[in-house]
Copies of this chain bind each other. A is one copy, B any other.
Amino acid sequence: MAAKVLAPIIENEASTGRLVLVCEHASNAFPAPWGDLGLTAEQRRAHIAWDPGALAVARGLARRLDAVLIHAPATRLIYDLNRAPDMLGAMPARSEIHDIPGNAAISATERLARTEALYLPWANGLHNLIARRIALGLAPVLVTIHSFTPIYHGRPRSVEFGVIHDADATLAVAIHDAARRLTRLNAELNAPYSAADDVTHTLRVQATPYGLPNAMLEIRNDLIADDAAADQMAATLAPVINMGLTEIQKQAKAS
């Protein structure tokens, strides 16, 4: 029997723009053979399972900025696509204040099966998307779209829009500057967490080795709680990202 493969979903692949949007935590689907991992319906709707609103924002951005978009086919609790296969967070036994029964004891065989089903098709699919665009001279720019919970371990978070970078801060700094100029969002660099928390796996694997400009965007999920709010956020952030892209192009020309 062929191994189960849950492929990433790609939208607007024909775009020839620079921007590649990535949404690793787009989905709270719990497909077979894993199923609900022993979680309640409420837990499966919560931020531990996905980034609520992130896909709707990403789609609104893709439409406004003519970007290609790649997003996850399943919950991050089966495999967190922004984690390497040996990271504890790839198949977490606990997330925030919730135990994940189906992840309590994962054998090496099960770790491999989930890696084969989700991580490899995802990583190869995104890599192919990027490498093809590099070959065509489209000079891709990678931006990942996430959302975060307003209250974590009981503590409220005041940041509304976080811009996180890994080794190359250029684009993140430009987007953060643009957000402060163009919006009233409480925008912060490297908040509510940073690369030191091992949240930048996608940037490290897919952008840094090719020298591509990259950033990870985090939106507080109470601001994008329904599709209308998410689309409004996309309308707010599209000119922010555009200004960031213009700024790094200006810097590249000057250097």
Contacts and interface: CB of A to CB of B under 8 A. Distances in A.
Q: How many copies does the complex hold?
A: 2
Interface stretch (A33-41, A125-133, A169-177, A222-230): A125-133
Given A84-B210, A204-B209, A209-B208, A135 B108 contact: yes
A169 to B, nearest CB: 17
Interface in A199-238: 201, 204-205, 208-210
Interface stretch (A114-122, A154-162, A182-190): A114-122
A133 to B, nearest CB: 9
Contacts of A115: 131-132, 134-135
Contacts of A135: 85-86, 108, 111-112, 114-115, 119
- How many A residues touch the partner, as a band? 20 to 34
A95 interface: no
Nearest to A111: B135
A137 B209 CA distance: 24
Nearest to A90: B135
Contacts of A201: 209
A84 to B, nearest CB: 5
B120 A128 contact: yes
Contacts of A116: 132
Contacts of A134: 84-86, 115
B131 A85 contact: yes
A248 interface: no
Interface in A30-87: 84-86
Nearest to A112: B135
B132 A123 contact: no
A136 B108 contact: yes
A123 B127 contact: yes
Contacts of A124: 124, 127-128
A5 to B, nearest CB: 12
17 contacts: A84-B131, A84-B210, A85-B134, A85-B135, A108-B137, A112-B135, A114-B135, A115-B134, A116-B132, A119-B135, A120-B127, A120-B128, A120-B131, A204-B208, A205-B209, A205-B210, A209-B209
